[in-house]
């Protein structure tokens, strides 16, 4: 069985010692955060939140021309 656990950096040594002492862990792999994926996922979540706020009438969204102009200005 595989289980993903997110542990505070400060607690890793204690956690690992506990797991080793009780012979609980079969294999340990540290998953590094992929900053590019993480940034994309945060942006996607923000976008979904903005759409939700728009649908609730709490936010106005940009029209297509404003969006195109913003993208053009960012590429320079």
Interval 18-58: pLDDT, tens = 887 888 777 777 666 677 777 888 888 888 888 899 999 99
Determine the pLDDT at residue 31.
66
| pLDDT score of 3 | 77
Distance in angstroms (rounded) separating the CA atoms of residues 2 and 58: 42
pLDDT at position 8, please? 86
pLDDT at 30: 67
Which tokens in the block code for residue 9?
């950096």
- Tell which residue, 25, 30, 29, has the closest CA to residue 1: 25
User: Which of 72, 3, 63 lies closest to 31, judged by CA?
Assistant: 3
């Amino acid at each position: 069985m595989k289980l993903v656990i997110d542990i505070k950096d400060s607690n890793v040594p204690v956690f690992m010692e506990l797991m080793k002492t009780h012979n609980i862990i079969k294999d340990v792999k540290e998953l590094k955060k992929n900053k590019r994926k993480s940034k994309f996922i945060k942006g996607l979540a923000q976008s979904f939140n903005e759409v939700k706020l728009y649908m609730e009438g709490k936010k106005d969204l940009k029209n297509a021309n404003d969006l195109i102009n913003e993208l053009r200005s960012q590429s320079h």
